[in-house]
């Protein structure tokens, strides 16, 4: 692989990919105590075997597979895990749906792996540079800089990607801004001199390094010369010829990667699960993967992010959700992109309450408990003992919906006893509140 094109080609390979994305369209709805899932998969042939273990046989039409099934818990059909919970009472039910798709929610592990990969890349660069500069009097200063400040700055630039990914923008939106940000970082820390920011940005323009000007071609040489203690006007020593982007860097890399020291260095790295080798045993591909890791790229460089579109049927507006509520359609919608493992998982959630209108109207003369008040009542009711629950059901069943509910509750005061003595006291109080009547102590 042409090393001088890594800077652009590896970025393009991540962004563009070599295979089409799979699109998952999910429709989720309550089904008794569980859920109903309707899944439409486009361009997902490689997943048929796995999905066949979760759903009945799909309906396949023109490359689109349609699956459906009912579940007591959230299945890992798109990859990930989730929670589906329904808490019921005669007055209504409270639902909680939460699901994450793929990715990696171990942020500490991601950071540690990224910093480790950056250290490995810094080690590799030092050994490579030393193979060309070991006899130069300026090499000790450059080596010390690479082993400290450069290593530190590389870690910063790697972690910047995590922050940009956290903001939720697509790669084609944040990637150009990332390289502009890197350029300014290099200016602020003395890597780039006056007027060299444009040369840096030109490396990542649509033209790439194919139209190198003199300023751009010698950019890496000047960056190294400054760290060897040479002033900008002093010229670039011949020992840095290997850093010329147009020709020297390729020749130097080709020579270095064939050495035993390079093979030993890369071969000594343990194969973390976070690194997927393109061709195991090929030093050049291994180095490229470490380089990708160090700058924060994902390793799935031959696939595009998959897309998830999900709708959730809700009888009432959620009390909390990160989706978009459609009041007319009575549903919440989400969409987003997922990768196999890297970055935070795509995450959807909704929390809502559905009243049993028929039950409440038959006993209270109307719907008194909905939304937050229903959540509070369901939480109290489900926490009762069987005996107390039977007492409450009997009391509610004795109410006359055509009469004054507050007065009927007031008549039951004699059974309250001292505050806290009767477990039904909270239920009476909530029924008072829902009827807009103050409790008379």
Is the Cβ–Cβ distance between 249 and 4 less than 8 Å? yes
Among candidate residues 320, 355, 390, the one where a domain is terminated: 355
What the block records as the tokens of 204 is 């990542």
Task: Show Cβ contacts of residue 97 under 8 Å, excluding neighbours closer than 6 positions.
Answer: 28, 35, 82, 83, 84, 312, 348, 349, 350, 351
Mean pLDDT, to the nearest integer, of 196-203? 78
Residue 117 or 286, more confident? 117
**Residues 144, 271: one domain?**
yes
- Could you tell me if residue 440 is inside a domain? no
Is the Cβ–Cβ distance between 217 and 240 less than 8 Å? no
What the block records as the tokens of 238 is 């011949």
Confidence label for 151 from pLDDT (cuts 50, 70 and 90): very high
**Residues facing residue 326 across a β-bridge:** 331
Residue 429 or 321, more confident? 321
Structure confidence by residue, pLDDT tens digits, 74-84: 999 998 899 99
Mean pLDDT, to the nearest integer, of 251-260? 82
Expressed as residue numbers, the domain containing 328 is 15-104+303-355
Among candidate residues 267, 294, 321, the one where a domain is terminated: 294
**Which contiguous run of DSSP H or E holds residue 73?**
none
Q: Judge if pTM exceeds 0.85.
A: no
- Could you tell me if residue 411 is inside a domain? yes
**Residues 238, 290: one domain?**
yes
- Could you tell me if residue 9 is inside a domain? no
**Residues 310, 395: one domain?**
no
Q: How far apart are CA 31 and CA 111, in angstroms?
A: 40
pLDDT above 90: percentage of residues in the chain? 40
**Which contiguous run of DSSP H or E holds residue 36?**
strand 34-42
Confidence label for 268 from pLDDT (cuts 50, 70 and 90): low
- Could you tell me if residue 26 is inside a domain? yes
419-425 — which CB contacts under 8 Å span 24+ positions? 423/384, 423/385, 423/388, 424/388, 424/391, 424/392, 424/395
User: Which of 75-84, 245-254, 368-377, 432-441 has the least mean pLDDT?
Assistant: 432-441
- Could you tell me if residue 85 is inside a domain? yes
| Cα torsion 435, 436, 437, 439: sign | positive
**Residues 324, 368: one domain?**
no
Task: Give the chain's domain count.
Answer: 3
On the question of pLDDT at 438 being above 60, the answer is no
Confidence label for 37 from pLDDT (cuts 50, 70 and 90): very high
**Residues 351, 400: one domain?**
no
**Residues 382, 245: one domain?**
no
- Could you tell me if residue 90 is inside a domain? yes
pLDDT above 70: percentage of residues in the chain? 77
**Residues 256, 205: one domain?**
yes
**Residues 374, 407: one domain?**
yes
Residue 237 is predicted with a pLDDT of 86
Mean pLDDT, to the nearest integer, of 28-51? 88
Structure confidence by residue, pLDDT tens digits, 175-193: 777 888 888 898 899 888 8
Mean pLDDT, to the nearest integer, of 43-52? 78
What the block records as the tokens of 14 is 């991540």
- Nearest one of 93, 136, 350 to 243, comparing CA atoms: 136
On the question of pLDDT at 328 being above 90, the answer is yes
**Residues 316, 388: one domain?**
no
Among candidate residues 276, 294, 312, the one where a domain is terminated: 294
- Could you tell me if residue 2 is inside a domain? no
**Residues 174, 84: one domain?**
no
**Residues 344, 234: one domain?**
no
User: Which of 117-126, 152-161, 292-301 has the least mean pLDDT?
Assistant: 292-301
Residue in the block written with tokens 């009997």:
394
Task: Show Cβ contacts of residue 161 under 8 Å, excluding neighbours closer than 6 positions.
Answer: 178, 295, 296, 297
**Residues 51, 26: one domain?**
yes
On the question of pLDDT at 441 being above 50, the answer is no
In terms of Cβ atoms closer than 10 Å to its own Cβ (0-12, 13-18, 19+), residue 196 is buried
Phi, psi angle pair for 224, to nearest 5° = -70, -40
- Could you tell me if residue 79 is inside a domain? yes
Structure confidence by residue, pLDDT tens digits, 358-371: 999 999 999 999 99
């Amino acid at each position: 692989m042409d090393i001088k094109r890594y800077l652009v080609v590896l970025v393009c390979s991540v962004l563009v990919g070599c295979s089409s994305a799979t699109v998952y369209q999910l429709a989720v709805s309550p089904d008794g105590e569980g859920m109903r899932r309707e899944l439409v998969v486009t361009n997902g042939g490689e997943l048929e075997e796995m999905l066949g273990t979760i759903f009945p046989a799909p309906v396949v039409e023109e490359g689109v597979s349609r699956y459906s099934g009912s579940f007591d818990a959230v299945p890992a059909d798109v990859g990930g895990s989730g929670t589906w919970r329904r808490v019921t009472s005669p007055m209504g039910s409270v639902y909680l749906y939460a699901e994450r798709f793929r990715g990696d929610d171990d942020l500490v592990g991601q950071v540690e792996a990224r910093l480790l990969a950056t250290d490995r890349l810094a080690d590799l660069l030092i050994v490579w540079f030393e193979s060309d500069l070991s006899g130069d009097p300026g090499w000790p200063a450059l080596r010390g800089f690479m082993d400290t400040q450069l290593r530190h700055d590389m870690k910063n630039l790697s972690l910047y990607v995590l922050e940009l990914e956290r903001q939720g923008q697509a790669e084609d939106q944040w990637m150009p801004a990332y390289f502009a940000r890197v350029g300014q970082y290099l200016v602020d820390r003395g890597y780039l001199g006056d007027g060299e920011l444009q040369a840096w940005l030109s490396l990542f323009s649509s033209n790439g390094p194919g139209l190198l000007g003199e300023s751009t071609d010698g950019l890496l040489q000047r960056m190294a010369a400054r760290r060897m203690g040479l002033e900008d006007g002093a010229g670039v020593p011949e020992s840095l010829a290997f850093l010329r982007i147009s020709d020297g860097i390729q020749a130097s890399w080709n020579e270095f990667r064939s050495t035993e020291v390079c093979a030993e260095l890369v071969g000594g790295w343990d194969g973390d699960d976070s690194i997927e080798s393109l061709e195991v045993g090929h030093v050049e591909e291994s180095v490229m993967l470490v380089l990708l890791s160090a700058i924060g790229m994902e390793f799935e460089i031959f696939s595009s992010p998959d897309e998830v579109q999900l709708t959730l049927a809700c009888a009432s507006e959620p009390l909390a959700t990160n989706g978009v509520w459609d009041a007319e359609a009575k549903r919440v919608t989400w969409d987003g992109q997922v990768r196999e493992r890297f970055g935070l998982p795509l995450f959807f959630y909704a929390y809502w309450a559905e009243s049993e209108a028929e039950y409440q109207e038959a006993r209270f003369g109307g719907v008194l408990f909905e939304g937050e008040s229903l959540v509070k009542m369901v939480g109290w009711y489900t926490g009762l003992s069987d005996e107390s629950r039977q007492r409450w059901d009997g009391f509610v069943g004795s109410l006359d919906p055509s009469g004054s509910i507050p007065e009927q509750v007031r008549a039951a005061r004699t059974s309250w006893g001292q505050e806290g003595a009767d477990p039904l006291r909270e239920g009476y109080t909530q029924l008072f509140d829902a009827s807009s009547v103050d409790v008379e102590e």
